[in-house]
Structure 1
Amino acid sequence: MNNWYVITGGPSSGKTTTVQLLQQLGYTTTIEHARHYIDLKRAAGRTVLETRANQAEFQRGVLDMQLQQEASLNPEKVVFLDRALPDSLAYYRFLGLEPDPRLLEAIQEVSYRKVFILDLLPLASDYARTEDVPAQRRIHDLLTEVYLSLPVPVQAVPALSPQQRVEFILDHLIPVDG
């Protein structure tokens, strides 16, 4: 068992805002790799549409980053992850892609202290987010399905103000001896 907490939810559920607020409180956090992957490709001259055109390649790139990140984290340190490996499985399912065998193998080994699934907020479009409202809901449902299938505690986080969500999460952490 490690001391990592996953912050997840469908697109536009406030994950990154929540993780950034936790970071401001002094907690160790991670970044969302899908957005980071898009940003790296944009810096190399590719558009978001070009980057997302080959979804299998996109998902592999995100998975590579996620695998590397989780392998580098200290299991004894409290860390809040902006998405985690099981999120990739939900996206493979959403896209109708055959999951990467490395993902399926890694998911058998995952161990998170607790997963917080943020209730959806109204969909806000931006340069990296291409989903519509039905896709937002479907991804959220797939994330919930994937995490509930794993042997990790899952906690729904209601649609509250960002600060209230952080307080809710901190109030629902699992003590190290619990």
Structure 2
Amino acid sequence: MNKKVRDHFFIVTGGPGMGKTAIIAALRDMGHITVPETGREIIRQQVAAGGQALPWANRQAFARLMFEQSLQDYLEQPATSRPVFFDRGIADTIGYLELCGLPVPEEMEHAATLYRFNPTVFLTPPWMAIYEHDKERKQSFEEAVQTYESMIKVYTRLGYRLVKLPEATVAERVAFILDKALSLLL
């Protein structure tokens, strides 16, 4: 198996409601290449179409759509040496399925092993002060913590180094990520 490693692809992951999307938006606003989270868009599309591939209706189908979009996002990024920041990665779908007690298809494990990001993954730890849920993010804080722990297990098992982001402003978190990411690319 020939792994495809893209050292300039950085993942920001963690539990829902812990600041990932705000960080990715700030990076995008600064002119960096970013890839948004797939889950929210899938939920919007499924709700609009009356579909059932939703975390509260059919988790396996929801996970399948997340996986397919995550893989497509990885494969379709243009050739660049600039850093690319992803709001979640391919392995997040595995963590989601494991958290739900659902089987993980072999092709997902294979893809997460084959299509590699930078070995350093940024984690947004549980932080009650910023947590909020909405019509698309229905998890409780406790479920968000369990998701965070699931991501730690999956990314550790896949051999990534995990770096927890500080409880700080979005700007400070972005500066932390940029400092670390750019030093890794030198």
TM-score, scaled relative to structure 2: 0.87
Matched, 1:34 2:39: yes
Q: Could you tell which deviates more after superposition, 38-47 or 60-69?
A: 38-47
- Greater shift after overlay, 67-76 or 77-86? 67-76
- What is the CA distance between 1:104 and its match in structure 2? 0.8
Alpha-carbon separation, structure 1, partners of 2:55 and 2:168: 33
Q: Which residue of 2 aligns with 1:61?
A: 65
Q: Deviations over 1:21-76 (max 9, x none)?
A: 0000100001110101001112224589x663111111111111111111112354
Counterpart CA distance in 2 for 1:30 and 1:82 is 6
**Which of 134, 142, 146 does residue 142 from structure 2 map onto?**
134
- The amino acid that maps onto 1:116 is F
1:115 pairs with 2:121 = yes
Match for residue 95 of structure 1?
Answer: 100
Shift of 1:8: 0.7
What SS does the aligned partner of 1:81 have? strand
Q: Decide whether the 8 Å contact of 1:41 with 1:51 is kept in 2.
A: no
The count of aligned residue pairs is: 176
Query: Residues 161 and 47 from structure 1, CA distance in 2 versus in 1: closer, same or farther, beyond 3 angstroms?
Result: farther
**In 2, are the aligned partners of 1:5 and 1:79 still within 8 Å (CA)?**
yes
Q: Is the 8 A contact 2:21 2:87 kept in 1?
A: yes
Which ranges of structure 1 fall in alignment gaps of 5 or more residues? none
User: What aligned pairs does 1:1-178 form with structure 2 within 5 A after superposition?
Assistant: 1-2=5-6, 3-46=8-51, 52-74=56-78, 76-113=81-118, 114-122=120-128, 123-173=131-181, 174-177=183-186
Report the aligned-residue RMSD. Answer: 1.8
Question: How far 1:100 sits from its partner (Å)?
Answer: 2.1
State the alpha-carbon separation in 2 of the partners of residues 17 and 150 from structure 1: 26
Percent identical pairs in the alignment equals 26
Q: Secondary structure at the match of 1:73?
A: coil
